[in-house]
Amino acid sequence: MCGIVGYVGNRDAANIIISGLRRLEYRGYDSAGVALSPEGENTLKVVKRAGKIVNLEAGVQKELPTSEEPYAGLGIGHTRWATHGQPTEENAHPHLSQNGQFAVVHNGIIDNYAGLKEKLIADGYTFKSETDTEVIAHLIEACYDGDLRGAVARAVETLEGTYGICVISSLHPKLMIAARKGSPIVIGVCKGETIVASDVSAIVSHTDQVIFMDDGDILTATPDTLDITSLKNVPVSRPPTTIDWDLGEIEKGGYEHFMLKEIYEQPVALANATRGRLVPKEGSVKLSGMQMDAYEMARIDRVSIAACGTSLYAGMVGKNFFEEFASIPTEIQQAAEFRDRNPIVLRDTCMLAISQSGETADTLAAVREATRKGATVLGVCNVVGSTIARETGRGVYLHAGPEIGVASTKAFTCQVSVMAMMAIAMGRTRRLSEHAGQAMVEELARIPELAQRVIDRNDEIKAMAEKYASKNDFFYIGRGYMFPAALEGALKLKEISYIHAEGYHAAELKHGPIALLCDDVPVVAAAPMIPGREKTIANMQECRARKSPVVAIATEGDSEIKTHADDVIWVPDCMEFVSPIPVVVAEQLFAYHVARARGCEIDQPRNLAKSVTVE
């Protein structure tokens, strides 16, 4: 979603902000802008453009004087993903106050903006955009009495909704203020300068020392000082965290797209997700982040999983794990639904919030609701220090490394692995035997190799994808562990290739969707050598009888399946519980190559954002 970068220091703010915004491009956006405070000019210079950052860069080059000296050492920038109003130049951030002396960039949504706007208009303020953000700029002007921090604090106190904001003023050429409630702001701690951003990716090239602001914090930064206070101006101490990403991890490293790089990174990501956690001798695992002893684990009588998108489908796989290995009744819910339908949370419910980014608004809302209702809430997140990770306080990190491609890939396979480990840990306090645990732990040690063996078939999968790339409708089917795999395969295809693709339980096909099958509608059937395969083969026959071409995803050596499919993508043999990993890696490669053959913009698909921070 939207991205923020702010800079105060002695270097060229425009350059630093624009390169930071580039690092945030993956989040999805449709316009961009900067506001700069040139030394000694007593004015703010704003450049905004609809469309991509190249347009903004061209605008900056055209509108700013060229000189050896930095034009400004203070500035804020933004990439906007439209919510209120079209993606136009007028609606792009930064927004200026009425007198032009205050500029603000904002992530989040102000729920009470309409009422505030009405009042401001009655007080003589005029609006140039359709955004909710512009009210913040005017409110800061209205609250200003010589103290910029105080004005921001008073302004945000009137806001309902979510915000991460960064503010500068022409009246304070060396001062940057940031505030947050619900939308992340990270501070990069550097010598002689401060950089803030909505995401660490924009900061890692400058420093590995970052501070994650909390809701209600206000940052006051000058080139030499950095103070965090509460809205009431009480100092707050937030020690820096060291980020262990290096720059290479957030660059393409020779791959054509981040998505392909991240698919290829899965063997390493899976090894990192399991490293130091498997205890083969005991047939168990060590997950210290769960902060639960055997007694507490044994008391859990229900697991409730909340997540969105790909994380939701990983959660569906996880549901099988908790029920099968730990015999704990488990429910899985779309995170927004969890909150909206006022769920019953029993005393010994353990809620898992699954989120790659750790910032998804619906999942965060579910975390807060479950916490309020007394559940034990664990985060299963990838991004260290993200809001869900911090608010849950305990859980298991994926250690998958940064995921930049909008289409989630390595997060899914690592989420599945992490939940398998969590279920083994819980199962070992119950009926899961040491022997059974050992077999599972040994299998988990093999998953990097399983993923690699699918990746080794990239060329075959590519050829097959190119054969089907002209089709406009697809079905994905599967049963048991393959049902969430079918949903995930269809999601991958639709989000990056814009092909209409539906994931269905294989048994459900004949209850309606079969009416759509014909020779132009291929069916991808996930049918590896696990329980349910025979029945899925029967469903494949039903599809072929309606002339649909069938692409099977099947276990190497399964010669029978070839007779029931037009094409086969081979995956290595493995135990049932890890089978979604190789199958989904195959689906990721298939979707990637279809999208590439269709010339789609794979890393930043239209209308999509990497982390969805609005409800």
Binding site for ligand M6R (CB under 6 A): 308-311, 355-357, 360, 363, 406-408, 491, 495, 608, 611-612
CA distances in angstroms from 32 to 48, 57, 71, listed in the order given: 6, 10, 19
Which residues are paired to 77 by β-bridges? 5, 34
CA distances in angstroms from 149 to 5, 211, 217, 450, 599, listed in the order given: 18, 19, 11, 54, 48
Structure tokens at 615: 């409800």
Instruction: Identify the helix (H) or strand (E) that includes residue 93.
Output: none
Q: State yes or no: is 2 an active-site residue.
A: yes
Q: State yes or no: is 414 an active-site residue.
A: no
- 268 C-beta neighbours (distance < 10 Å), count: 15
Give whichever of 383 and 543 is closer to ligand M6R, judged by the CB atom.
383
**Smallest separation, CB 359 to ligand M6R (Å):** 7
- The label of the residue with tokens 């409800």 reads 615
Residue 380 has phi, psi (to 5 degrees) of -120, 90
Instruction: Identify the helix (H) or strand (E) that includes residue 459.
Output: helix 458-468
Nearest to residue 78, comparing CAs of 208, 161, 181, 178? 178
Structure tokens at 166: 């960064």
**Smallest separation, CB 371 to ligand M6R (Å):** 17
The active-site residue, picked from 2, 308, 381, 414, is 2
Give whichever of 361 and 571 is closer to ligand M6R, judged by the CB atom.
361
- 192 C-beta neighbours (distance < 10 Å), count: 10
Q: Where are the alpha helices (DSSP H) in 498-545?
A: 533-545
**Smallest separation, CB 91 to ligand M6R (Å):** 24
**Smallest separation, CB 444 to ligand M6R (Å):** 21
Which residues are paired to 475 by β-bridges? 502, 523
Q: Which strands form 74-80's sheet, in the order they lie side by side? A: 45-50, 31-36, 74-80, 3-8, 193-197, 186-190, 209-212, 241-242
CB 136 within 8 A of CB 94: no
Nearest to residue 615, comparing CAs of 335, 349, 420, 380? 335
**Smallest separation, CB 400 to ligand M6R (Å):** 11
**Smallest separation, CB 222 to ligand M6R (Å):** 34
CB 558 within 8 A of CB 572: no
Give whichever of 278 and 361 is closer to ligand M6R, judged by the CB atom.
361
The active-site residue, picked from 48, 261, 494, 610, is 610
Residue 433: is it exposed, middle or buried by C-beta count within 10 angstroms (0-12/13-18/19+)? exposed
Give whichever of 81 and 325 is closer to ligand M6R, judged by the CB atom.
81
User: Taking CB positions, which residue lies at the least distance from ligand M6R?
Assistant: 309
Q: Indicate which residues carry an active-site annotation.
A: 2, 610
